[in-house]
Amino acid sequence: MSDNTATSTRGSALKRLLLVVGGAAGVGVAGERLLTGGHEAPEPAAAAASPRTLVIHGRDWRIASPATQPGELPKPGDPAVPFGQLVDPEEQPVGSFSAAALPTLGAAVELHTFELGDGTILGIGAAGIHDKPFAIVGGTGRFAGASGTYVARQSPRELGGDGTAEFTLNLVGGIDGR
């Protein structure tokens, strides 16, 4: 065989080898797509972040209703929502809390807004003030991407309470991107 024929044969063999390798890779991708219903396979999930507990206290806790005058108790069936000042353990102001009621066919749903100096936390749950569970549905600033749950313990003055509140939040994500 001449050098030219040997080179040509080696070149052909190399091309066939690359074609076989490329075909095998294509079959692997096709097989993977068959297993995933024709969609790209999902990336493996990152390890779930463990919840972080954050306790927020409130003072000057009140309830208000658009149907009542200041100082007047809401009538049964009036939408009444809590509001107050958020404080740190040393009773220094760190933000404010407000709620909005969404009436439904049975019980109201409350939307909670925790306005803090470094971001906002948003929550939702069935209306009520004593040991009620709520879902954290998002946040802004330092709490962007937050999720989790919290328990609200509220004692508004209008209902004979001492005007305090305590929220125990179990946050997943949303604390400075962690």
Over residues 95-112, the mean pLDDT reads 86
Enumerate the domain spans of the chain: 1-44, 52-172
Compute the average pLDDT of residues 52-77.
81
Task: Record the tokens describing residue 168, joined without a space.
Answer: 């125990």
CATH architecture classification, 52-172: Beta Barrel (2.40)
Query: Residue 108 above 90 pLDDT?
Result: no
What average pLDDT score do residues 76-91 get? Answer: 85
Flag whether pLDDT at 19 surpasses 70: no
- The residue with greater pLDDT, 137 or 40, is 137
Between 32 and 166, the higher pLDDT residue: 166
Q: pLDDT tens for residues 125-157?
A: 988 777 889 999 999 999 999 999 999 999 998
CA of residue 90 relative to chain centroid, distance: 28
Instruction: Say yes or no to pLDDT of 167 above 50.
Output: yes
* Residue tagged 């709620």 (tokens): 99
The segment with the largest mean pLDDT, out of 65-69, 71-75, 103-107, 136-140, is 136-140
Threshold 0.85, pTM exceeds: no
66 has a pLDDT exceeding 50: yes
Average pLDDT value over all residues in the chain: 77
Query: By C-alpha distance, which of 172, 110, 123, 116 is closest to 146?
Result: 172
Across the strands, what pairs with 137?
A: none
Among 51, 115, 105, 106, smallest CA distance to 83 is for: 115
User: For residues 94 and 115, what is the distance between their CA atoms, to the nearest angstrom?
Assistant: 8
pLDDT at residue number 12: 52
pLDDT score recorded for residue 26: 47
Q: Is the pLDDT of residue 11 over 70?
A: no
